[in-house]
Amino acid sequence: MAVVLNAIAQFGIILLEVFVGFGLFWLGQLAYQKLFRRIQLNLELFVKDNAAVAIALVGYYLGIVIALGGILDKSASTWQEKLLELASYGAMVIIFMLAGAWVGDRLILRRCDTAREVIQERNAGAASVEAGNHIANGLIINAALAGESGSWLVGLVCWLIGLGVLVLASLLYPRFTAYNVFNEIEKRNNPAAGVALAGLLIATGNIVRVAFTPEFQNWFISFIQYGLTLLICLASLAIIRWLADLILVPGVKITDEIVHQEVPNLGAGLIEAFAYIAASFLIAWAV
């Protein structure tokens, strides 16, 4: 009987957490449309049928879900304390998600007017990059807020470092793809280029999450450990595109499929994105 009662109580707590979680989604979408994009989501999604807005919004939602995972892993003495922690941390997650979205607009897709590309041009490539940035930001927030030993200051510093790594990855990416990815996204409305870059951002965010996973000890020891792990993992990720050409699509150049065709090959962009994301998980499990 005690087992049944415990199961019912646990189920009730799960339902309450889901209810609070969806409340946070509602708050997040309100902040997204009123503070960040300044649009009417229902109009864009269900009257104009703007798929680009849907892609960006789903990435934003997924980023929130992933970020909340860092909070749900924390231990709490009572269910009331756990729900209060979820609500308070969840509100902070939304603030961090909006700030990360702003960084993505200004520093990652800085050469594009992302709002115009997504809302007016219905640019799926730009929307994919925005979605990838949201998901990567969620992964970084997950690591920054997780754990029991760090403070809010430690989490904030880790989050800022993670965003810096995302921006750096976006700056380096065009150098080893041998084409102007941002020009492809803005001028050609190239979804394959956008999806590939989104995959890189998600993989980078996952690598940052792995680097910041160990419990915080002190500023010197922990950040040396975080930095070394981050450098090793990013160096491993850097060779993935070459391996994707060599192993996943032998005899074909992914760059040619994405750029040098009249109609960009979205499948090639998806394969490149998969290679980055899959490699980030393999690296994470190996570390």
How many residues would you count in the chain?
Answer: 287
Structure confidence at residue 17 as a pLDDT band (50, 70, 90): confident
The reply to whether 1 falls in a domain is no
The reply to whether 3 falls in a domain is no
The pLDDT tens digits for 116-136 are: 999 999 999 999 999 999 999
pLDDT of residue 122: 96
The reply to whether 52 falls in a domain is yes
pLDDT of residue 286: 79
The position carrying tokens 């809010």 is 152
Rounded-to-integer distance, Cα 86 and Cα 80, Å: 10
pLDDT of residue 77: 58
Structure confidence at residue 230 as a pLDDT band (50, 70, 90): confident
Cα torsion 195, 140, 178, 114: sign: positive
Choose the weakest-confidence range: 9-18, 64-73, 145-154, 200-209. 145-154
The reply to whether 269 falls in a domain is yes
Choose the weakest-confidence range: 43-52, 183-192, 193-202, 210-219. 210-219
pLDDT of residue 73: 60
The reply to whether 254 falls in a domain is yes
For a pLDDT cut of 90, what percent of the chain falls above it?
Answer: 48
The reply to whether 132 falls in a domain is yes
pLDDT of residue 106: 93
Predicted model pTM: 0.91
Amino acid in the structure at residue 19:
F
Cα–Cα separations (whole angstroms), residue 266 to 121, 174, 176, 179, 192: 18, 18, 19, 16, 4
* In the predicted structure, residue 192 carries a pLDDT above the cut 80: yes
Q: Compute the average pLDDT of residues 102-113.
A: 90
Tell me which residue range forms the domain holding 56: 9-286
* In the predicted structure, residue 167 carries a pLDDT above the cut 70: yes
DSSP string, 95-120: HHHHHHHHHIIIIISTTS-HHHHHHT
Structure confidence at residue 72 as a pLDDT band (50, 70, 90): low
Q: Compute the average pLDDT of residues 85-99.
A: 88
The reply to whether 4 falls in a domain is no
Do 235 and 287 meet the contact criterion of CB atoms below 8 Å apart?
no
The reply to whether 178 falls in a domain is yes
Tally the domains of the chain: 1
pLDDT of residue 273: 94
Cα–Cα separations (whole angstroms), residue 197 to 105, 176, 273: 14, 12, 7
Choose the weakest-confidence range: 7-11, 121-125, 277-281. 7-11
What contacts 220, CB < 8 A, 6 or more positions away? none
Structure confidence at residue 5 as a pLDDT band (50, 70, 90): low
List helix spans (H) across 120-239.
124-145, 152-177, 181-187, 191-211, 219-238
The position carrying tokens 């419990």 is 215
Strands (E) across 9-52 are located at none
